Structure 1
Amino acid sequence: MKRIVIVGATSGIGREVARLFIQQGWRVGVAGRRQELLESIRNEAPGQVETEPIDVTAADAPERLYALIDKLGGMDIFFLSSGVGWYNPSLNPEVEMKTVETNVKGFTQMVDSAFHYFKQQGKGHIAVISSIAGTKGLGASPAYSATKRYQNTYIDALAQLARMNKIPIRFTDIRPGFVSTDLLKNQSFPLQLKPEKVACQIEKALLKKKRRVIIDWKYNLLVFFWRFIPLWIWERLPIHT
């Protein structure tokens, strides 16, 4: 039986992806900060699901990840769905640093731990949710945009590192547009996607081992065209939500 570990599974996209893989008959390890929500997922399929409370920014996060893998009996796919972001045009320093702590420190800690596990195992698949926001800096969300660019680049670097060392690790960089989750609660970003729809596309991308995927077609077009916008024009665009 195939095994997937999902970090950030207590709500939103992560939870929907967990449900889909449970339906597919996989063994699923779910992690997040809220124990009661993890237990509610396990109760849906007690024979298939293992849980572990993990705060990706905590020093014991790698240890807890390995404990979850042991409970599961191994890991074939590591899927990181954990992340934060805020609309922050006032540039509140606390908001910016919280974003960096989770999306850079927490991201790096968890992805590196999965990389080391798969290196020892001799194979594996690392998938992460980044964002189309990493393509261009959004003035309303500076730290979020920058940390997502970091994630895009980090996965590219790890993919190269794996090839340099002849380690058969697959990578999938999932870049959704704006999704209607708690992350965007009370914010009016345009073209918001339903998490259920996004999860279905993520499941297909993981099973097909796609290297990079933008969700959905509307955002594919958007990202394609805005790459051609000169910097001097982009900086003058009044992008508000």
Structure 2
Amino acid sequence: MKRAIVVGASSGIGMEVARLLRENGWTVGVAARRIEMLSEFDFNAKIDVNDDDSESKLLDLIDSVGGMDLYFHCSGIGHQNRQLEEEIEVQTVKTNCLGFTRMVGAAYRYFSSHGGGHIAVISSIAGTKGLGPAPSYSASKSFQGIYIQALEQLSNRNHLNIHFTDIRPGFVATALIDDGQSYPLVLDKHSVAEDIVRSVIKQRHRRVIDWRWRVITRLWRLVPNIIWRHLPL
């Protein structure tokens, strides 16, 4: 039986993915800051990715599940921050970069000493280019994609049999974007979760969700930086 750990599973995409994995026969352990939201799962833990003891708590959760074949990282925050408020910028970097590195690194170290496994993460289409309305968010999502790419290269060099999947959804109808701002082409979280689970099972390296965002991000990459800097997003 396959065993998965989902971090950031208290709501939104993380919760949907955890439920779908369970429906597909996986044994699932879930973690989040709000442990009261995780009661439907037999194996759960209160983990804040920004706490120094988060790695040890993750290892305890893995032990309670009986091992780990898939680590799925969905923990993250994001805001539009056109006024560049310091607290928003710093907290976003802390969670999406430092917390991300702490937890994904812990999963990598676990798999490196247990014969391999699969690390899947939610980054975002926002990491494709710098987005003026959300500076730290788009920068942190770019960081995540590059970090996963680097870890895959490191794993291959060391023959560790660790697979990686970088999931890049467009804007999804979750609490993350329930801030009164306007977002284009918003996606249904259940449909996104179904796409994610299929992508994980197929061990895709990178998956942009959905087809409209795949077209849009390809176009973004073609825009010269001299033009991109002046776009009124």
Q: Which runs of 4+ in 1 moved over 6 A?
A: none
SS of the residue corresponding to residue 52 of structure 1 reads: strand
SS of the residue corresponding to residue 121 of structure 1 reads: coil
- The residue aligned with 1:168 is 161
Separation (CA, whole Å) in 2 of partners of 1:22 and 1:188 = 33
| 1:29-178 matches, cutoff 5 A | 29-39=29-39, 41-42=40-41, 49-178=42-171
Backbone CA RMSD of aligned residues = 0.6
Separation (CA, whole Å) in 1 of partners of 2:61 and 2:72 = 13
Separation (CA, whole Å) in 1 of partners of 2:116 and 2:58 = 17
CA deviation after TM superposition for structure 1 residue 188, in Å: 1.4
CA deviation after TM superposition for structure 1 residue 191, in Å: 0.4
CA deviation after TM superposition for structure 1 residue 187, in Å: 2.2
- The residue aligned with 1:45 is none
1:218 counterpart letter in structure 2: R
CA deviation after TM superposition for structure 1 residue 76, in Å: 0.3
CA deviation after TM superposition for structure 1 residue 38, in Å: 1.2
SS of the residue corresponding to residue 192 of structure 1 reads: coil
| 1:14-33 matches, cutoff 5 A | 14-33=14-33
- The residue aligned with 2:12 is 12
Stretch moving more, 185-194 or 50-59: 185-194
- The residue aligned with 1:211 is 205
1:146 counterpart letter in structure 2: A
Separation (CA, whole Å) in 1 of partners of 2:21 and 2:149 = 26
Separation (CA, whole Å) in 2 of partners of 1:209 and 1:35 = 29
2:195 counterpart letter in structure 1: Q
CA deviation after TM superposition for structure 1 residue 236, in Å: 1.1
- Once the two structures are superposed, residues 76-110 of structure 1 have per-residue CA deviations (whole angstroms, 9 ceiling, x without a partner) of 00000000010101000110000001000100000
- The residue aligned with 1:190 is 184
- Once the two structures are superposed, residues 28-67 of structure 1 have per-residue CA deviations (whole angstroms, 9 ceiling, x without a partner) of 000001121011x22xxxxxx3001100010010000000
2:14 counterpart letter in structure 1: G
SS of the residue corresponding to residue 141 of structure 2 reads: helix
1:221 matched to 2:215: yes
SS of the residue corresponding to residue 162 of structure 1 reads: helix
Separation (CA, whole Å) in 2 of partners of 1:200 and 1:160 = 28
1:214 counterpart letter in structure 2: V
2:218 counterpart letter in structure 1: F
CA deviation after TM superposition for structure 1 residue 25, in Å: 1.5
2:185 counterpart letter in structure 1: L
1:140 counterpart letter in structure 2: P
- In the alignment of these two chains, the number of paired residues is 232
CA deviation after TM superposition for structure 1 residue 232, in Å: 1.4
Calculate percent identity across the aligned residue pairs: 51
- Once the two structures are superposed, residues 91-145 of structure 1 have per-residue CA deviations (whole angstroms, 9 ceiling, x without a partner) of 0011000000100010000000000000000110000000011110000000000
Separation (CA, whole Å) in 2 of partners of 1:24 and 1:156 = 28
CA deviation after TM superposition for structure 1 residue 226, in Å: 1.2
Unaligned runs of 5+ in 1: 43-48
